[in-house]
Chains A and B, each alone.
Chain A
């Protein structure tokens, strides 16, 4: 991708990584702070880059469509291009400061790599979701609006609804419900996945125990990774279906 912005993004993570390490003086604590940022920020950036790139490169896409290239190949190329460049910015930008700080000698290496894996998943998921929105919306402004709303919903509003429903229905057994509700939101899923690995799940209280039992095991880890993969595959699949019908 010929984009200045992916360098800016890379620099941002680089600086963020250094600043956090400097302020915390401890890899473990830095990882926690980082989680909070990554969980909210990677989806947002993925969403914005996705829609922006789609609408900006529309002319070029049309040029390509008249060439002997398969449709799905053009768009998969764009999708992978954005996702991979964002992921590189994330992994390199955060990786460099942490490695320099002595990550390999600390015990946090597993947590840190889990964080990067989750960040990568979030990139791929949200670029795919935003591409879906852009493909379905002719109007640029509307497309942007929907994409941002989608992010806002998954990052903030979903949690609100989730919490309210926990309060309202608190006289019922909620463990199953909350587990399933988590699966339907990639941001929540990622957050809980990391929190539990960080051994600060005591903060989560009662439901924490349920989550702990589920996500803490290898089986739970496996399932939640699987769900994240699904979150990537389903939007990509829909993108391809949509493409077969779309007029340019």
Chain B
């Protein structure tokens, strides 16, 4: 479904992606892991067209995405930092984003699920970090798209919201959607992910199931297995 071909990206002198090749098939949950600054967010932003790669190509649904925009209609994105215009209310923002896509959306259920009903008329600037993240999640899941990209979705969520989030992710997966997740919470990965993509030095260091990773690193615990991979970088 998605294919990254020989992707290069530099910010000034800093090389973030260095000839990255990655193929992601349709359906399933893929966790993109890697140490801080390994290029996870950059990779995702390249896919979204927010960061423009220096070299290489990205294929989504058999078409290149570079310099295009219509493909984003089939893609939902949850940004890492929930930055919203502070002078809008929650419901205004939701309606505004609804207007942007020629597509049906389902917000009632999500708003109910995350208990946002009482906050709908509050200004976004006055919300707590966790509530903002909930709004963020509503915005990311309200459209029915084939690909869902979640950048650190668990940031600031309370345990109940976290359980709901996992439920939604599972539900979307059962509908046959492709879900990309980046996170640092290994228990979360262990619970939801089907496959792991491990980024290191701007390249794919490992790609495969959790089982395969545990086997390769001789470690029963995912957290330690990943730590093992990262430790090699420091060595």
Q: Do B70 and A68 touch (CB < 8 A)?
A: yes
Q: Do A68 and B73 touch (CB < 8 A)?
A: yes
**Which chain A residue has the least Cβ–Cβ distance from B145?**
A68
Q: Do B52 and A59 touch (CB < 8 A)?
A: no
Write out, one digit per residue, whether chain A residues 45-75 have a CB within 8 A of any chain B CB (1) or not (0).
Answer: 0000000000001111011111111110000
Interface status of B101 (Cβ within 8 A of chain A): yes
B-side interface mostly: loop
Which residues of A are found within 8 Å of B69, using beta-carbon distances? 68-71
Interface status of A245 (Cβ within 8 A of chain B): yes
Q: Do A247 and B100 touch (CB < 8 A)?
A: no
Q: Do B50 and A62 touch (CB < 8 A)?
A: yes
**Which chain A residue has the least Cβ–Cβ distance from B84?**
A59
Known: A60-B84, A247-B45, A248-B45. A66 touches B72 (CB 8 A): yes
Q: How many residues in B have their beta carbons less than 8 Å from beta carbons of A?
A: 22
Q: Do B51 and A62 touch (CB < 8 A)?
A: no
Which residues of B are found within 8 Å of A246, using beta-carbon distances? 52
Give the residue of B11, B79, B87 whose beta carbon is less than 8 angstroms from that of A66: B79
Which residues of B are found within 8 Å of A68, using beta-carbon distances? 69-73, 100-101
Q: Do B83 and A59 touch (CB < 8 A)?
A: yes
Interface status of A244 (Cβ within 8 A of chain B): yes
Q: Do B51 and A247 touch (CB < 8 A)?
A: yes
Contacts of B71-103 to chain A: CB distance below 8 A: 71-73, 77, 79, 83-85, 87, 97, 100-101
The answer for the CA separation of A64 and B2 in the assembled complex, in Å, is: 22
The answer for the CA separation of A76 and B184 in the assembled complex, in Å, is: 38
Contacts of A133-190 to chain B: CB distance below 8 A: none
The answer for the CA separation of A59 and B139 in the assembled complex, in Å, is: 15
Q: Do B87 and A65 touch (CB < 8 A)?
A: no
Q: Do A247 and B85 touch (CB < 8 A)?
A: no
The answer for the CA separation of A108 and B52 in the assembled complex, in Å, is: 53
Known: A60-B84, A62-B83. A69 touches B100 (CB 8 A): yes
Known: A70-B69, A71-B69, A247-B11. A65 touches B49 (CB 8 A): yes
The answer for the CA separation of A69 and B45 in the assembled complex, in Å, is: 15
The answer for the CA separation of A64 and B48 in the assembled complex, in Å, is: 11
Which residues of B are found within 8 Å of A248, using beta-carbon distances? 45, 50-51
Q: List 7 A-B contacts (CB under 8 A).
A: A2-B87, A57-B85, A62-B83, A63-B79, A66-B48, A69-B69, A69-B72
- Interface on B for A, CB 8 Å cutoff? 11, 45, 48-52, 67, 69-73, 77, 79, 83-85, 87, 97, 100-101
